[in-house]
């Protein structure tokens, strides 16, 4: 199965309905789940069955030997609410067990999504626009290492084909890594602000706590490994660095953060959820350098504190 194969593996709109049903009824026979979630002339029962099967494999749901469906036992109690479903499913999708082969083409689980997401977050948000498949494909082919190019339909791409583009956009927005812009028309804006905001309560020990910039980036890379210095991102960037030439991918200079991560930290600071500060006597190795247009350093911050406006951003009570 593949998270990005809508025709065979389901949609996130169906996932929401399945999760709400199982929150309410706890344990439901498979036939009843499919029947309740696919009313006549509204939803194809095949789509429900496929979505259910995908999320059993990804670890959100479970099925016992009698064919009863329930939320997986590994889902934490505080995660069992519809408001936190995007955060929960993002955590599951990025788990190692669902990305064992980041370059898998068949039965990739979440790897095809993770691979595409890493590549797109690595782009310069000020110079690269993802407006449609033609733009995406052109940019991808320019940046692919030569050994990944070929005529084989199944040869590796960061995004394997045009049919994956629509589900990529839907899942990226759902998981909080992007949003749909209006200019230019239908542009996908890479911005992991929501995904990062949702993870801050797991990184900071308490409201008002302060950590160094180095600690923040390291913790984010562990919690969301598609971000800068995360294991999946490092893997994809290592392949991007193999290509040379005028259209090759260019890493941020001088250990600066990517423009996508810089954008998110700037937004969180502007919103007051993160308070970024620069202590002049702080050593250089704990600072983070935010990147703007043309690789310029926008800010240098040595410390960050967590200042959520309301308790919904803090999951520890």
pLDDT in tens, 35-51: 999 888 777 889 999 99
Tell me if residue 70 falls in helix, strand or coil: strand
**14 contacts: CB under 8 Å, gap ≥ 6:** 37, 43, 47, 48, 51
DSSP string for residues in 61-114: EEE-TTSEEEE-TTS-GGG-SGGGHHHHHHHHHTSGGG-SSTT-SSS-BTHHHH
Mean of pLDDT values over 225-240: 95
Q: How far is CA 243 from the centre of its chain?
A: 25
Mean of pLDDT values over 275-279: 94
Helices 259-271 + 193-203 axis angle, to 10: 70
Helices 12-25 + 45-57 axis angle, to 10: 80
Q: What is the pLDDT of residue 149?
A: 53
Q: What is the pLDDT of residue 155?
A: 46
> In the chain, what are the domain boundaries?
6-93, 101-190, 193-313
By C-alpha distance, which of 113, 79, 71 is closest to 225? Answer: 113
Mean of pLDDT values over 205-216: 93
Task: State the average pLDDT for the chain.
Answer: 89
- Kindly report the number of other CB atoms within 10 A of residue 180's CB atom: 12
Q: What is the pLDDT of residue 315?
A: 45
Q: Which helix (DSSP H) or strand (DSSP E) does residue 8 occupy?
A: helix 6-9
DSSP string for residues in 164-193: GHHHHHHHHHHTTSEEE--SSTTPEEE--H
User: Per CATH, is 6-93 categorized as 1.10.10?
Assistant: yes
Strand partners, 297: 291
pLDDT in tens, 110-122: 999 999 999 999 9
Mean of pLDDT values over 227-256: 91
pLDDT in tens, 146-171: 655 554 434 467 888 888 899 999 99
Q: What is the pLDDT of residue 104?
A: 80
Determine the Cα–Cα distance for residues 40 and 18; give it in Å rounded to an integer: 16
pLDDT in tens, 284-306: 999 999 999 999 999 999 999 99
Q: What is the pLDDT of residue 290?
A: 97
């Amino acid at each position: 199965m593949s998270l990005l194969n809508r025709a065979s593996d389901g949609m996130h709109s169906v996932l929401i309905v399945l999760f709400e049903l199982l929150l309410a009824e706890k344990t439901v026979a498979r036939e009843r789940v499919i029947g309740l979630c696919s009313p006549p002339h509204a939803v194809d029962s095949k789509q429900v069955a496929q979505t259910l099967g995908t999320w059993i494999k990804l670890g959100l749901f479970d099925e016992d030997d009698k064919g009863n469906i329930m939320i997986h036992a590994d889902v934490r109690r505080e995660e069992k609410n519809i408001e936190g479903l995007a955060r929960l499913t993002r955590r599951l999708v990025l788990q190692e067990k669902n990305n064992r082969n980041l370059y898998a083409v068949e039965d990739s689980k979440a790897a095809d999504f993770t691979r595409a997401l890493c590549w797109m977050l690595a782009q310069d948000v000020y110079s690269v626009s993802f407006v449609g498949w033609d733009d995406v494909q052109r940019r991808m082919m320019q940046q692919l290492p030569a050994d990944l190019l070929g005529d084989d339909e199944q040869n590796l791409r960061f995004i394997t084909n045009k049919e994956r583009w629509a589900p990529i956009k839907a899942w990226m927005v759902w998981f909080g890594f992007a949003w749909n812009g209006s200019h230019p028309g239908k542009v996908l804006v890479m911005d992991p602000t929501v995904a990062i905001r949702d993870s801050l309560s797991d990184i900071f020990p308490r409201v008002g706590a302060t950590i160094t910039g180095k600690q923040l980036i390291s913790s984010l890379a562990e919690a969301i490994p598609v971000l800068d210095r995360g294991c999946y991102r490092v893997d994809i960037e290592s392949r991007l660095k193999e290509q040379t030439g005028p259209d090759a991918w260019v890493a941020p200079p001088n250990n600066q953060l990517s423009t996508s991560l810089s954008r998110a930290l700037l937004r969180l600071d502007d919103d007051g959820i993160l308070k970024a500060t620069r202590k002049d006597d702080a050593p250089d190795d704990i600072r983070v350098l935010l990147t703007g247009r043309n690789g310029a350093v926008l800010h240098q911050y040595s410390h960050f504190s967590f200042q959520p406006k309301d308790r919904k951003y803090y999951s520890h009570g």
